[in-house]
Structure 1
Amino acid sequence: MEEKKIEQFNFTGKGIDYFKIWITNTVLIILTCGIYYAWAKVRKTQYFMQNSWFQGNHFNYHANPIAILKGNIFVLIFFGLYLLVSYFSSNIAALVFLSAFLLFPFFITKSMQYHLTNISYKGIHFNYQSNLKKFYIFFFSHIFLNLITLFIIFPYTLKKYNDIIYSNIKIGDVFFKIHTKTKEFYFIYFKLIGISILVFSPFVIYNILFGTEKTTGIVFNIATVITVFVNLIYTILAFYKLVINNLSICSNNFETNISFKKYFFTNITNTILIVITFGLYMPFAEIKLKKLLLEKLYLEINEEMIFKNENTGNSNEILSQSSEITNSLFGIDIGV
């Protein structure tokens, strides 16, 4: 039997190097009243991309900070107008909010397109090619279905959402594929309920046996914070592993084997160190977590991968200036 060829991703970023970028970005954002945020975001993303390696080549990020700044200004103006209008008329404010809500799928799609087209590997750019009409149908139909089923179908909604997102991402002319099952999302959903009971129960038992009227509220608050924290960490890792372990490209399968124990204690130590250093450990925590995720990411090679930039047919040609200008119109930073 032919032995599988497994290629590992690598991350070469260092905490002290990123700390210099982070502290400079933070100071400049404060001094410019937030204007420098667009440049800070690009600089940060470039550092992480250029230190992410696969098969001896690193990724790259080409976003234009001016485009992101325009998007941020647009969002600020919109919210400013919304607050102003809501002061004078709640009905008009509701209409403005509804209009923004109706445009949400459009903004999601365009933001994905903008950010992915600015990521490249070996000169080949990523892209997001979605059918906006289908995304609108999915978005509003699932809002309705979740409301009438009291969110019982929410795991199925997450499954369909991931299908839409990941099956429309491509590098050059080759699309990614995702093969998750609905029952896998429900398994995570029910496991979250079990974890909540497991974490919360000892506090309830303690309160019944030893609690007083004064300590009940304190115990409940501590139990809630710990339960939410554990569930949040589990949810992030569980969905990450579910997506990665069902993702493929050119018949090559992605894999990750991060243990919950390792991921949990990394987040715990990061949180404690961030608190006791008044936030100064933040860049080191980001590097530590990124390194853990990327160096536990593998690709099982079953087929040679050959990509070409779809627009030009030249694998080394970057996006044209006209494409950059077009994308800049939609460079709204909504955290996708």
Structure 2
Amino acid sequence: MGSRSRRARRGHRRGERPGPTPTRVQGRPKRVFQDLDRQSGADDRDPGDLFGVGQGPETALLLWLYGGAGSAFGYHGDPRAILRGRLIAAALAGTYLLARQTSTLATFIVLGLLALVTPWLVVKSRMFALRVTSWRGLRFDFSPDYRGAYRQLLGWLILGIATAGLLMPRFSRERYQFIVSRSRYGATAFDCNPGVGRFFKTAFAGMGLALVVGVVLGILLAVVVGVLNAAGAPPAVTRVVTTAGVAAVYAVILSVVHGYVQARNLNEVFGTTSLGPHRVVSDLRATPLISIYLTNLLALVFTLGLYTPWAQIRLVRYRLEGLELEAHGSLDDFVAAAAAPVPAATGEEISSLLDVDFGF
């Protein structure tokens, strides 16, 4: 965040070691694609290559954020590999759309196959994303564990579905724990052990919040429709208002619940994450996150999707600025691990297409 946490300030006044180091993201959203040129020079690539082979907005966003963070981060993804992965992802998307047009059975078969390969995709996606990312000259990495991925991800997903959603909070917790605890910085592994109970409390609170918001907005919509009917408005107008009102109610409910759940879950995940002797501190608040979701949604609707880069930056900026590193010792003590081969970008692009990742 822009200022240190209260705990860090108190410690500083007592003469102790300064507390968490905040993550700051500088720059303006309108430069998201312009900064590709600046960052490509640091990677010794021709800027034309970055634009000419289909560099996507996600990569542009990463480069913009890394550049705005003082260039301590580096992104070393091969744009050609990203393009190949994106083409394969597009082919799979076309297969799914074709199956939908063919029959319900074909659709379920394709969805079933996608569910079976999702744990594999998660592992491949994290391996690619982390191995092409560096901080202070050291690369991140992800330790592949396919058996664990199927046990923790697919296993808990099946249990969540079989229990009509009652165990889905546990699935969310297992997904976060699996991904973070298998990530490494240099030769040092991250440790993450979020509490199971916190996820269930957040899920039930989110359902209660959805009920309250839905009832309040539903009553308001009913009043508006009633006023229109009493005023003798044409049926077509009433139908349009009703349809738009229902869509707006759903959008508000989803934004409110998603913002609340994300803030609490991410605070729990990062608040229980450590890297060697260093701790991560997360201070996301639900109200600003809900506001970002709502305003981003409105902007995307009114700009027909053109606001997407700005929406992504607003969201990622707030999340990053809510993270702080509480250092206990020197950050120069980290050592590099043996170089690991960077896998194909196919898993990363398919995961991006299917929204299979942290769920951020």
Cα distance in 2 between the residues matched to 1:207 and 1:97: 36
Please give the alpha-carbon distance, in whole angstroms, between the structure 1 residues aligned to 2:102 and 2:305: 40
Partner of 2:47: none
> Match of 2:61, as an amino acid?
K
- Aligned: 1:13 with 2:27: yes
Which residue in 1 is equivalent to 2:119? Answer: 105
Partner of 1:125: 139
Partner of 2:170: 156
Runs of 5+ in structure 1 lacking a partner?
23-33, 313-318
* Cα distance change, pair 176–147 in 1 and its aligned pair in 2 (3 A): same
Matched residue, 1:248: 274
**Normalised TM-score (structure 1):** 0.78
Q: Percent identity?
A: 20
Could you tell me which runs of 5 or more consecutive residues in structure 2 were left unpaired when the two chains were aligned: 1-13, 37-50, 230-234
Q: Which residue is 2:63 aligned to? A: 46
Question: Aligned pair in 2 of structure 1 residues 43, 283: CA closer, same or farther (>3 Å)?
Answer: closer
Q: May I ask how many residue pairs the two structures share in their alignment?
A: 311
Residue pair 2:126, 2:348 contacting (<8 A) in 1 also: no
Matched position secondary structure for 1:175: strand
Superimposed CA distance per residue, residues 151-208 of structure 1 (whole angstroms, 9 cap, x where no aligned partner) = 2111111111111111001111101111211110011101111211221222344466
Determine the C-alpha separation between the residues in 1 that align with 2:107 and 2:295.
Answer: 44
Residue aligning to 2:39? none
The answer to whether the Cα contact below 8 Å between 2:127 and 2:143 also exists between their aligned partners in 1 is yes
The residue that corresponds to 2:336 in the other structure is 309
Matches within 5 A, 1:286-301: 286-301=312-327
Q: Partner amino acid for 1:328? A: A
Q: 1:180 to 1:70 in 2, by over 3 A?
A: same
The amino acid of 2:16's aligned partner reads: E
Structure-1 separation of matches of 2:111 and 2:305: 35
Inter-partner Cα distance in structure 1 for 2:304 and 2:222: 36
Highest relative contact order (Cα 8 Å, sep 6+), 1 or 2?
A: 1
What is the CA distance between 1:294 and its match in structure 2? 2.6
Correspondences of 1:29-178 after superposition (within 5 Å): 36-38=53-55, 40-53=57-70, 58-80=72-94, 98-178=112-192
Partner SS for 1:199:
helix
**Scaled by the length of structure 2, what TM-score is found?**
0.73
Q: Distance in 2 between matches of 1:155 and 1:60?
A: 34
- CA RMSD after TM alignment: 3.4
> How do residues 185-334 of structure 1 correspond to structure 2 at under 5 angstroms?
185-206=199-220, 211-212=225-226, 217-218=242-243, 219-273=245-299, 281-305=307-331, 306-311=333-338, 323-324=341-342, 327-328=343-344, 330=346, 332-333=348-349, 334=351
1 CA distance for matches of 2:313 and 2:110? 40
Q: Partner of 1:254: helix, strand, or coil?
A: strand
